[in-house]
A and B are shown apart, each in its own frame.
Chain A
Amino acid sequence: AQTVTQSQPEMSVQEAETVTLSCTYDTSENNYYLFWYKQPPSRQMILVIRQEAYKQQNATENRFSVNFQKAAKSFSLKISDSQLGDTAMYFCAFMKRASNYQLIWGAGTKLIIKP
């Protein structure tokens, strides 16, 4: 069975700093997706970034980028130039490709951006 581990329950950084959230996973699958979702205080779950395991290139979305290390089963999220609006819970998730679309979730990291 797949598992997703987020080892940082909470982090805080100053506005404009760069922060990296860690995520490791365990799977015997070779074909899968990895996701980062954010859940701000409104509790709306928002897709931040998506990585296809067969792609070696790390996914990026504006200030958000990932460091995908397939062999190490690591999928960290880097937020550059952090903003107050980045304050949220961040969840890492795994999905086996061409399956039932179910997500395996990490426990989440609470990120606080301080002014």
Chain B
Amino acid sequence: GAVVSQHPSWVICKSGTSVKIECRSLDFQATTMFWYRQFPKQSLMLMATSNEGSKATYEQGVEKDKFLINHASLTLSTLTVTSAHPEDSSFYICSAVQTSGGASETQYFGPGTRLLVL
């Protein structure tokens, strides 16, 4: 149980285009999901908290107009990188919080998306 999928696993795009990344909780409902960015050999950097049915909460320094988050259902959150530039190239990871069952209040992670902006 507690499986989270993320799609696509990697994407290459041209500078100025937008890229959408999907995060799904496959076997549980998640009112809260998180989006992280990870630089090589570093820990995870929290970008935003995605709450089902409400606006996302962004961490300081993260441009909300650039990184659009939509959490339209209890199993799906999307991150759209708008007008992507080479500095947005990174590894993006989502997580979903399981709030019931034996391991409640636990984040489970998707496999990540490698984004390369040319």
Chain A interface residues toward B at CB < 8 A: 33, 35, 37, 42-47, 50, 91, 95, 97-98, 100-103, 105-108
Main secondary structure of the interface of A (DSSP, over half): loop
Q: Which chain A residues lie closer than 8 Å to B38 at the CB level?
A: 43
CB distance B97 to A101 under 8 Å?
yes
Interface set, chain B 83-118, CB cutoff 8 A to A: 91, 93, 95, 97, 103, 105-109, 111-112
CB distance A97 to B105 under 8 Å?
yes
Given A44-B112, A101-B34; 17 other pairs, CB 8 A cutoff: A42-B111, A44-B109, A44-B111, A47-B108, A50-B106, A91-B44, A95-B107, A100-B49, A101-B32, A101-B97, A101-B107, A102-B46, A103-B44, A103-B107, A105-B43, A106-B43, A108-B42
CB distance A35 to B91 under 8 Å?
no
CB distance B105 to A43 under 8 Å?
no
Nearest B residue to A45 via CB reads B109
CB distance B43 to A43 under 8 Å?
no
Q: How big is chain B's contact interface, by range?
A: 20 to 34
In the complex, what distance in Å separates the CA atom of A35 from the CA atom of B43?
14
Q: Which chain B residues lie closer than 8 Å to A98 at the CB level?
A: 105
| Interface core residue of A33, A42, A103, A105 (most chain B CB under 10 Å) | A103
**Taking A35-B106, A50-B106, A95-B105 as contacts, is the C-beta distance between A102 and B49 under 8 angstroms?**
yes
Name 23 interchain pairs, CB-CB below 8 A, sorted by A.
Answer: A33-B106, A35-B106, A42-B111, A43-B93, A43-B112, A44-B109, A45-B44, A45-B93, A46-B109, A47-B107, A91-B43, A91-B44, A95-B105, A95-B107, A98-B105, A101-B32, A101-B34, A102-B49, A103-B46, A105-B43, A106-B43, A107-B42, A107-B43
CB distance B49 to A105 under 8 Å?
no
